[in-house]
A and B are shown apart, each in its own frame.
Chain A
Amino acid sequence: MADGTGVLILGDATGGELGSTTLELLAAGQKIASELGEQLSVALLGDTLDVPAQQAISHGAQKVYAVNHPLLAKFQIDFHLSALEALSKEVGPRIILVARTNEGRDLAPRLAFRLGVGLAQDCLEVSVDSSSKTLMANRPVYGGNAIAVVTCDQTPQIAAIRPKAYEPAEEDSSRTGEVVSFPVELNESLALTQVVDTVIEEAEGIKLEDARIVISGGRGLGGPEPFAHLEELAKIMGGTVGASRAAVDSGWVPSSYQVGLTGKTITPDLYIMVAISGASQHMAGCSGSKVIVAINKDAEANIFKEARYGVVGDWETVLPALTTALKELT
């Protein structure tokens, strides 16, 4: 296969605006494109692309491929795959970056397999080896217990980047770039799956992924009722409540609360962990937090190796005292 040139980002324009993960990809992409001395472009799929295309340029894209089609208005994997396969073959990028979002999780592997190339999955950091122009991808494996550095053996080299691994790219409205429209042919019969219903079970209040303060509870809470204490504290602090998988699996809170490798990735300013042991799979979703506070009765719990502040004690005593004191302070 030919070598390819440039870095192509698969952007998200579904909300009529550029998604936040695309801004993160632009930050990662700028870095590697400049290390390579090659062009940074963004592929946008949808039916209203003018606004996101300009946003991509002001955030550092030199070129935008606008793939406009009514069937791309919402994410449907088969339509998106078909469009991206055509685009990728035409453009011939050296590197493709995808965000490992809910959609990217399905899209990136299928695209890599369709193109017959490898995918560096769920990366925290990407760089290039400038002599060989090889993409070096760092990715957590074994539930975050280890980091693997992997490279792709064929071109395009594809990496899926974990959300929040990069700070979003800075905006500079004086930047200029080119918007090229890329026509695709799609028809309804391509769709192999149909969404027949969507059920939203989201907790009220601030979204877990967006909250600046998160308070999570684990198995050590012993049941669903103690989560009310966490909710109370969250309310006082202007935060939101999360949970470990053990708490979710016990049925105490819905799965949308789960933080971790197979739950949500959060990067709050303050993360308070109550009766959570700090298993690597939980930490995989919260190690980007600025400050971690742990309340756990076991002084040997792993979480005391990861937290900035800790209290060794029973949450039933520690938490009410913390809550009362915080009420007085705020």
Chain B
Amino acid sequence: MAIKIGVLAKQVIDPEMPMAAFRIDESSKKVVPPPNIPPVVNGFDENAVEAALLIKDAQEATVTVISTGTEFALDVMKKPLSMGADELVLLQDDIFENTIDSFLTAQLLVAAIRKLGGFDLIICGRQASDWDNAQVPLGVAELLGMASISLGKKVDVIDGKVRVERIIPDGYEVVEASLPSLVTVSNELGQPRYPTLRGIMAATRKKPTIWSSADLDLDSSQSSSRITLRDLFVPVSDQDCEIIEGEDPADSGRLLALKLREDKVI
């Protein structure tokens, strides 16, 4: 029987944008999307798509990508489809705005997962590169009462179990759980595959399922907030860098050593 895999993926402002392009609107406490730099699928979520496709390469599986947000760049969000995912479900509504509140996001994703009939395996990124919360996946697992294994660098499904190589500070451990389970993955999983031309063609033809909050079965306790953003600011760095300049780079290196000794750094 085909394994049903759900991948949770978020559209984010490109974290690799030049630092100078990073702007905050302090009054609305929002990051201003940089003009001319398109959003991206959160990097770790591309790793999650790759993890799902690697399973699909080896056995019969379907891969459904789910995302919540207020506004989507369709060409960006279709990337997982062009990589080889089967289906895209977009939950688009203004109530998805408060994305710093993982509780709300997780509740909404869970409602969508239930509506889709549940998954054998849910794969997520380790964290979203906007709010760096690293909470939504654990919340989804908790709300669904399933095991969660975080920071995976290899994910296999064997005999109804998921087997994950999970990064720990000094190496990795191999962890197993029965399905259904949730796994988060990190960039150590490896470079996600590039879309093929055939994949891109197929993705253009595919229509995403688009739901609003009204399509989900939610009560008010599920959509009430848990976290309030009080302030958002750019930290100021007051460091003055002393540039050590010798006659040539080698001389600078030598002078650096002397300077570190002189200032008792070493």
Q: A105-B134, A309-B241 are in contact. Are A153 and B226 (CB under 8 A)?
A: yes
Contact, CB under 8 Å: A291 / B265: yes
- Judged by a CB distance under 8 angstroms, whether B82 is at the interface is no
Contact, CB under 8 Å: B102 / A119: yes
Contact, CB under 8 Å: B139 / A109: yes
Interface 9-residue window, one of B115-123, B174-182, B194-202: B174-182
Q: How far is the CA of A324 from the CA of B31 in the complex (A)?
A: 47
Q: Please classify how large the interface on chain A is, using the bins under 10, 10 to 19, 20 to 34, 35 or more.
A: 35 or more
Q: How far is the CA of A237 from the CA of B266 in the complex (A)?
A: 8
Over the window 167-192 of chain B, the binary record of Cβ atoms lying under 8 Å from chain A Cβ atoms (1 yes, 0 no) is 11111111111100100001110010
Over the window 120-132 of chain B, the binary record of Cβ atoms lying under 8 Å from chain A Cβ atoms (1 yes, 0 no) is 0000001101111
Q: Please classify how large the interface on chain B is, using the bins under 10, 10 to 19, 20 to 34, 35 or more.
A: 35 or more
Contact, CB under 8 Å: A149 / B232: yes
Contact, CB under 8 Å: B142 / A110: yes
Q: A196-B176, A237-B266, A314-B249 are in contact. Are A306 and B24 (CB under 8 A)?
A: no
Contact, CB under 8 Å: B171 / A329: no
Q: A198-B173, A270-B266, A306-B237 are in contact. Are A317 and B250 (CB under 8 A)?
A: yes
Interface 9-residue window, one of A7-15, A28-36, A37-45, A261-269: A261-269
Interface 9-residue window, one of A17-25, A59-67, A135-143: A135-143
Q: How far is the CA of A302 from the CA of B21 in the complex (A)?
A: 13
- Judged by a CB distance under 8 angstroms, whether A131 is at the interface is no
Q: A194-B177, A262-B126, A319-B253 are in contact. Are A149 and B22 (CB under 8 A)?
A: no
- 12 A-B pairs with CB atoms under 8 Å apart are A118-B102, A119-B102, A140-B235, A148-B231, A153-B226, A262-B127, A307-B239, A309-B241, A313-B249, A317-B249, A321-B254, A329-B266
On B, residues with C-beta under 8 Å from A are 13, 15, 19, 22, 24, 31, 100-103, 106, 126-127, 129-135, 138-139, 141-143, 146-150, 153, 163, 167-178, 181, 186-188, 191, 224-235, 237, 239, 241-245, 248-254, 256-261, 265-266
